[in-house]
Chains A and B, each alone.
Chain A
Amino acid sequence: MSQLLLDVNGLTMRFGGLVAVNGVNLSVKNRQIVSIIGPNGAGKTTVFNCLSGFYIPSDGSVMFKGEQIAGLKDFQISRKGLVRTFQHVRLFSKMTVIENMLVAQHRHLNTNLLSGLFKTPSYRRLQDEAMDRAAYWLKEVDLLEFANREAGNLAYGQQRRLEIARCMVTQPELLLLDEPAAGLNPNETKELDELIIQLRDEHEISVLLIEHDMGLVMGISDHIYVIAQGTPLADGTPDEVKNNPDVIKAYLGEE
Chain B
Amino acid sequence: MTETSLYLIQQLINGLTIGSTYALIAIGYTMVYGIIGMINFAHGEIYMIGSYVTFIVIAGLMSMGLVSLPIVLLIALIIAIITSSTYGWTVERVAYRPLRGSNRLIALISAIGMSIFLQNFVVLSQGSRDVALPPQISGGWTFGDPSVFEVSFSYMQLLIWLATFLTMAGLTLFISKSRMGRACRACSEDLGMTNLLGINTNKIISMTFVIGAALAAIAGLLLGLYYGVVNPFVGFMAGLKAFTAAVLGGIGSIPGAMLGGLILGVTEALTSAYFPSEYKDVVAFSLLVLILLFRPSGLLGKPEVEKV
Binding site for B on A (CB under 8 A): 52, 74-75, 78-79, 83-84, 88, 90, 92-95, 99, 102-104, 106-107, 109, 111, 116, 166, 170
Contact = CB atoms under 8 A, between A and B. Distances in A.
Contacts, number: 60
Contacts of A166: 197
A93 B198 CA distance: 19
A99 to B, nearest CB: 6
A149 to B, nearest CB: 16
Interface size for chain B: under 10, 10 to 19, 20 to 34, or 35 or more residues?
Answer: 10 to 19
B178 interface: yes
A170 B189 contact: no
Contacts of B183: 103, 106
Classify the secondary structure of B's interface with A. Answer: helix
Contact of A79 (B179, B190, B198): B198
B193 interface: yes
Contacts of B178: 116
B43 to A, nearest CB: 24
Contacts of A74: 192, 195-196
Given A116-B178, A116-B179, A75 B199 contact: yes
A106 B190 CA distance: 15
Nearest to A111: B179
Nearest to B194: A103
Given A75-B200, A106-B179, A109-B179, A92 B186 contact: yes
6 contacts: A52-B196, A74-B196, A78-B196, A92-B190, A103-B182, A170-B198
Given A79-B198, A94-B189, 12 more contacts: A75-B195, A75-B197, A75-B199, A78-B197, A90-B193, A92-B190, A103-B182, A106-B182, A106-B186, A107-B197, A109-B179, A170-B198
A170 B197 contact: yes
A254 to B, nearest CB: 34
Nearest to B199: A106
B308 interface: yes
